[in-house]
Amino acid sequence: MSVYVPVLVVYLGLLALIGYRLRARSRDASDFAIGGRSVGPWVTALSFVAAYYSSVVIIGGGAFGWMYGLSTLWIGAGNVLLGTTLAWIVLGWRIRRFTGRLGVMTLPGFFSERYASPPARIFSAAVTGLFLIVYNVSVLKGMANSFEVLMGMPYWGGVLVSGLVILFYTAVGGYLAVVWTSFVQALVMIGALVLLTFAALQKAGGLAAVTQRLAEAGPGLVGTPGAWGWAGLLSFAFIVSLGVWGMPQLVIRFYSIKSHKMLRLGLVVVTLGATVALLPYLTGAISRVLVPALDSPDQAIPALTKLVLNDWGGAFFLAGVVAAGMSTFAGVLIIISSSLVRDVWVQGLGRSLTPAAEVKANRGMSLAVGVVSLLIALKPPALILVLTAFAWAVIASTNLWPLLFGLYWRRTSPRAAVWSMVLGAAAALIWQTASRLGALPEAWRGVHGFMVGVGLALVVIVAGTWLGRPAPRENIARAWGESEPGA
């Protein structure tokens, strides 16, 4: 405990200092929301990794590894291949070019300009704002639980310490502070996971010994699909990998990189960084061998940390877990505030703001949204806890296809995009609610709302585009960087 305090004070102080040093770099809304499109490849890539993997992934991934064994490595592999490498290849280049040409700085802003559709902007901003706040509460809760378990700090203390530091550097330093702190946090998180994995493997006598002892511990802990079964394993890997393609806090990294040329180095760096996704699942499986008796699978990683690391190592690992949570929270916070100010206040309500006033509005909004998230996280109502399970599915069902089709299919109909958003989000929400209430037939309960929402949204956007009209030529020409015919 005594070691944990100085490590965390130094670490959190460093993050606050980064935010403070970058305060003067936010001169207008573009600086505050996307760093003035000036971020380099290393920072873009590693901040993507940090925003992707929250503390919930580390603790929850370990729990899955403990429960289901080595087959869960496929979830991490899906995160790397589909959630990172293919996401960068398929989305990165086009998003950087399109958003630059359209002059937009948020995902709802992209929908508005690409489709000439204010309803698409408003719906995406509303769903994103509401459900990202809910998602942020779950991230904050995960961080506070980590403080509680690893350090013995009261839950409310964990919420306040981590939340207030994030609020400070996000409101003061804007997007640049978010990505630079995320860069540092990614390094800490990667270092912490590598340290824990090596220490755990050493304690267990190597990977071959782990495999042998897992096979003895229970059938299905070594092979694939193992105890989880194909349906559970594949659908979960799919949700946490493809869902990323519609998450604004991740795709915003493609808006803000300095140029599309820098995506090349970024792609290689992000793929290498993302490989740490395997480690929570691997260490979770190792913990099944080393700490087989637990009250709850969520204790797997904390218990393993206490067993194989000394106090300094444990403090470093806690910093890594907190880093994962903080970077995700900050990334989400800046998205919500810039979306509410730009897409709802300025564009939606038609309020004109000077560049300095818009930066101030963004700072105020990020503080307000952050304080609301903190207050909810201190004592989350039951409804919020239920909604956290829906957030990822609803946001992805809203944004994924209108974004992907908007980048690749010129004909995509604006009306089809809006209906795809509305029906996809509604389907995900209704399915998850019905599943929770036990209103679905037994055989369907294993199907996640994400699959239903994203599936329906895909059908709607394709069918609606065949039946409907494309966006105005001017908007398509601007997005594709072509001069208008006759212009």
Report the residue number, 73 or 340, with the smaller CB distance to another protein.
73
Report the residue number, 70 or 417, with the smaller CB distance to another protein.
70
Nearest distance from residue 407's CB to another protein, in Å? 16
3-state secondary structure 210-245: HHHHHHHHCCCCCCCCHHHCHHHHHHHHHHHHHHHH
Residue type, 278: L
- Are the C-beta atoms of 339 and 107 separated by less than 8 Å? yes
Q: Can you read off the two tokens belonging to residue 206? A: 């190597």
Residue 257 φ then ψ, to 5°? -70, 145
**What are the CA-CA distances from residue 244 to residues 63, 112, 456 (Å)?**
21, 21, 18
Report the residue number, 262 or 426, with the smaller CB distance to another protein.
262
Report the residue number, 38 or 211, with the smaller CB distance to another protein.
211
Nearest distance from residue 265's CB to another protein, in Å? 7
- The helix (run of H) or strand (run of E) holding residue 82 is none
Q: Can you read off the two tokens belonging to residue 327? A: 């970077």
Nearest distance from residue 262's CB to another protein, in Å? 11
Q: Tell me 295's DSSP state.
A: S
Report the residue number, 223 or 381, with the smaller CB distance to another protein.
223
- Residues lying near another protein in the complex (CB under 8 A) are found at 70-71, 73-74, 76-78, 80-81, 84-86, 88-89, 93, 206-208, 211-212, 215, 222-224, 226, 261, 263-265, 267-268, 270-272, 274-275, 278
Nearest distance from residue 298's CB to another protein, in Å? 23
Question: Within 13 Å of residue 159, how many CA atoms lie on the same side as its CB?
Answer: 19
Nearest distance from residue 260's CB to another protein, in Å? 9
Nearest distance from residue 240's CB to another protein, in Å? 14
Number of other residues whose CB lies within 10 A of the CB of residue 279: 25
Nearest distance from residue 221's CB to another protein, in Å? 10
CA dihedral 174, 175, 176, 177 (to 10 degrees): 60
Report the residue number, 76 or 248, with the smaller CB distance to another protein.
76
3-state secondary structure of 248: helix
CA distance 283 to 201: 8
Report the residue number, 196 or 282, with the smaller CB distance to another protein.
282
